[in-house]
Structure formats: structure tokens, C-alpha cells
Amino acid sequence: MSEDQAGNSLKRGLAILEVFSEDRLEWTPEELMEKLGYSRPTLYRYLKTLREAGLLSSNPNAGFTLGPKVVEMDFLLRKSDALILTGQAHLKNLTDRYTCTALLVRRYGDRILCVASERSAVNPRSSYPRGRPMPLARGAIARSLMAFLPRRHLIPLIERTFEDLQAVGLGSTVEEILESLKRVKKAGYAVAFGEVTPGVVGISAPVFDAGRSPIAAVCVTIAGHLVDGNMIDEISSHVRRAAEEITQTLSDQRLNVAAQ
């Protein structure tokens, strides 16, 4: 098998994992064949490989679900991801200071994914539990990341998510939305009121990689009745500082590795 063929085979096998979602947690082989267009022999070959690797599980006379290897990999991720290891202490500092939930969210294509969180609020309300992907459009986290994307990436993203962005009042045209995001970029953080979870204020600031591309965000979500304008300004300052310190720590770690 050539390198191109091997790469294509790998993509086709991984495509099976991509069909699992919160809305579809289990798939039968027949459903997978219809969804992916694979022949029965091809599909069963991939299913056998993924099941033996622990990435899929199956029950007799039932469909396939994600397997235990996913849980093992999540455990290893928590112990190895520099973003999580660096950011956890900052989340704890924020929840010690405010009655809130503090989140560390990674950008994942056109989605955002909570990878770590701390909370001090009793029965907190949040639409961002760890591991649940959300569209990169609504809320403070989305805006704090979008505002710092290069224009060549930002314009197509705005066009793909235009209806959501328009619905939350960012503008009625692409140019108006760009102007709204410029204001977020100038401030260095974003604030949203009840856009994702009713009654909750979100305050978010971006974390950058070495090339100054936004790779993640720090966010505080707090019940709206607990904050006023001055408190939001205060929390925003702390959230922005936490994001800046995480960015700097990650940069220092990369430089130390490069110097070794």
C-alpha cells in the first residue's frame, strides 16, 4: 500500500469516529454504511480495527458506541496537556475570588471545547461542561477568539455563522460584525449577557500560541444578579490577566524546550 493509500485509509477509518455526537451516541453497521457510503467488507474491516484498539465497543444485536480507549486517552490528556496543566491554577484563583464557574476552552476547528473547569457557585448553570463541543459563534468565548483571528480566516467563519452572529446583535452585515469584533479586540476580552445560558454573564479573554493565534480562552460565567457594571469590569481585568499569564507561561515552556 502506498503512502497516499495508507493516509486515505486512515482518514476513512477515523471518519467513523467523527459520526458520533451528543445526538447520535450509537450506530448500527447498516446506519454507518448508509451514512459513510462504505461497502460492507470495508466497513467491517474498519470496525474490527477500531474495536480491537478499544476506540469502539459493541454489544450483541446492538450498535457500536465509543470504547474505553477514549477514556484512557482523556486521562492521559489531563496529565499531559500543557494548556490544562498551566491553566488549572488560574481557574482556581478566579473561583476563589468570585462565586462563579471558570472555564478553560480550546478552539477546535469551528467549535470550542471546554477542557478544564473549576466552580465555586452552588448549582452553577453552564452550557459548557467539559468535553462538550459548542459552535464557534455565540457567547463571550466565541467572540474573544473570533476577534483575534486573521481576516482571511475570520471572514469565511462569519459567513458560515452569520445568522447566529446577527441574532445576538453583533451586526446586520459582515462589515458591522467585523466592527463589533474590532471593539472586542481593542478591549482584549468579550462580555456576553445570557447568549448561551439565560441569566448568566460570560466574560472571556483569549490565550495565544507562539504565532499570536488564539488557541484557547479563559472564561468566567456568573449569575447576572451577582454583578453590576463595575464588577464586570473587575472580573474582566482578572480574566484578561489570567489569559495573558497562561500565554506567557506556555511561551516560556516552548522556549525552554527549544533551548535544551
**Residue 16 CA: distances (Å) to CA of 20, 28, 135:** 8, 11, 21
Residue 127 pLDDT > 80, yes or no? Answer: no
Question: Cell numbers at residue 180, please?
Answer: 463589533
Residue 1 pLDDT > 60, yes or no? Answer: no
Which runs of E-coded beta strand occur in the chain?
56-58, 64-66, 101-108, 111-119, 133-135, 190-193, 200-208, 214-223
pLDDT of residue 134: 81
Pick the more confident residue, 236 or 164.
236
H-helix or E-strand containing 254? helix 229-259
CA atoms of 220 and 191, how far apart (whole Å): 10
CA atoms of 178 and 255, how far apart (whole Å): 34
Residue 123 pLDDT > 60, yes or no? Answer: yes
Q: Lowest mean pLDDT: which of 69-78, 143-152, 160-169? A: 160-169
Q: 67 with 55: CB under 8 angstroms?
A: yes
Residue range 62-85: mean pLDDT, rounded? 93
All structural domains of the chain, each given as residue ranges with its CATH number in brackets, are: 3-71 (1.10.10.10), 81-259 (3.30.450.40)
pLDDT of residue 6: 57
pTM of the model: 0.85
Residue range 170-181: mean pLDDT, rounded? 94
Task: Rounding to the nearest 10 degrees, give the CA dihedral for residues 88, 89, 92, 96.
Answer: -170
Q: 121 with 222: CB under 8 angstroms?
A: yes
CA atoms of 90 and 102, how far apart (whole Å): 9
H-helix or E-strand containing 182? helix 174-187
pLDDT of residue 110: 81
Question: Cell numbers at residue 29, please?
Answer: 453497521
Nearest to 190 by CA among 138, 230, 227: 138
**What pLDDT band is residue 8 in, cutting at 50, 70 and 90?**
confident
CA atoms of 133 and 22, how far apart (whole Å): 9
Coil, helix or strand at residue 225: helix
**Residue 101 CA: distances (Å) to CA of 27, 121, 188:** 34, 6, 20
* Mean pLDDT of all residues belonging to the chain: 90
CA atoms of 193 and 112, how far apart (whole Å): 18
